[in-house]
Amino acid sequence: MSVLAAALRVRVAPAFDLAVAIEVPAGITIVLGPSGAGKSTLLRCLSGLARPDAGTIRIGDRVLFDAARRIDCPVAQRQCGYVFQHLALFPHMTVAANLRYGLAHLDDAAAGERIDRIAQSFRIAHLLDRRPDAISGGERQRAALARSLVTDPAYLLLDEPLSALDHRSQSRIMDDLRDWNRARQIPVLYVTHAHREALALGERAMVVDGGRIVATGTPQEVLDAPASELVAQLAGFENFFDADVQAVAADAGTMSCRVHGTSVDLEAPRLRGASPGDRVRLAVRAGDILVATTKPTGLSARNIFPGVIGGLRRVGPAITLRVDAGAPFEVHVTPHACRALDLEAGTAVWLVIKTYSCHAVAPDRMATMSS
């Protein structure tokens, strides 16, 4: 059980450099961030496919890279498992030959035993004689993962390899990976730009943006209390409002914010250091807003205000409402609720939002979560 530790800086483009310091313990760590944030560059540096301009990379006690001491362990000797975005299974080889490829140092008997074992773990034993183009997308993902793991890597890097799969297939593969890793206890970095995966798949998460790590913590911590607009967007917040802090109730830990250009006041948990007059952004999940057809009373929720439904749209199993309540809100309701309340365009409604469903975000600052 060892830790993958890196502190590195690399120029990606003339005006963009990646500068991060990370410590990845055993287990699955999700690396979240928008395209172009530097996630793939980070993985390429850790694997040795790209060379940082400065810094160090270590796995346990072993130094893989040290710019100052001119140490740069070649890719082939890093014992790094790497699953590529498009998997990079060798198309001219069977699945078995793909798995065998990284075991050149073993004789056929020893290699065969390892291949059989990993093929069982990742449910591809029946596919060993097939070529990659003759198996399904999910099976290819399993084969690629098994090919990286059969070599017993010291750490594993996954570059969005599962993004093409549905959520259930993804989590099944990740469950298999977690089972496999229970005995090995190696650090696993899983890069993705979709938030949904992160919630279910990792023990830890970090958010990369603009070449910096802007948040770290458990996936729940990173997603539930967004410290920056970026994290909020990744976490699937549909409603964003620019607002000014009107009043701060320090004892209650809340603050009242006026949405710009409206007379809508929203009460939100107090943002650290916020005082009246400050600009903030408020983020609200569409699924966290309640809809009522009469004015609700006797509720603990502090944000209750009237509006009119501008339109309805069915998105997957849910129904998305556009509600004009002084400010435009997106609200998600179930089809049942929609029928029961007889909701349609033009219906007058009341919106109810708990204080703790209003997430305040410092607009221009990428605050770090862990501090």
Partner 1 sequence: MTVDAGMDWGAIALTLRLATWVCAILLVVGTPTAYWIAFSRWRFAFVVESIVALPLVLPPTVLGLYVLVAIGADSPVGRWWMQLTGHGLAFTFEGLVIASVIYSLPFMVQPIAAAFARVDPSLIEASATLGASRWRTFRDIILPLAKDGLFTGVVLSFAHTVGEFGVVMMVGGNLPGVTRTVSIAIYDHVQAFEYGAANRTALVLLVFSFLVLVATYATQRRAWSPVAPR
Q: What residues line the site for partner 1 (CB under 8 A)?
A: 47-49, 74-82, 84-92, 101-102, 104-105, 133, 147-148, 151
CA atoms 38, 40, 41, 45: torsion sign: positive
Half-sphere exposure of 235 (CA within 13 A, CB side): 28
Burial class (CB within 10 angstroms; exposed 0-12, middle 13-18, buried 19+) of 327:
buried
CA-closest candidate to residue 8, choices 42, 44, 47, 31: 42
Those residues with Cβ within 8 angstroms of residue 255's Cβ, 6 or more apart along the chain or in another chain:
245, 246, 247, 248, 249, 267, 268, 269, 270, 271, 274, 360
| Residue placing its CB nearer to partner 1 in the complex, 78 or 195 | 78
Strands (E), 260-302: 265-269, 279-284, 290-292
DSSP 3-state assignment of 353? strand
| 167-184 and 137-149 helices, crossing angle to 10° | 10
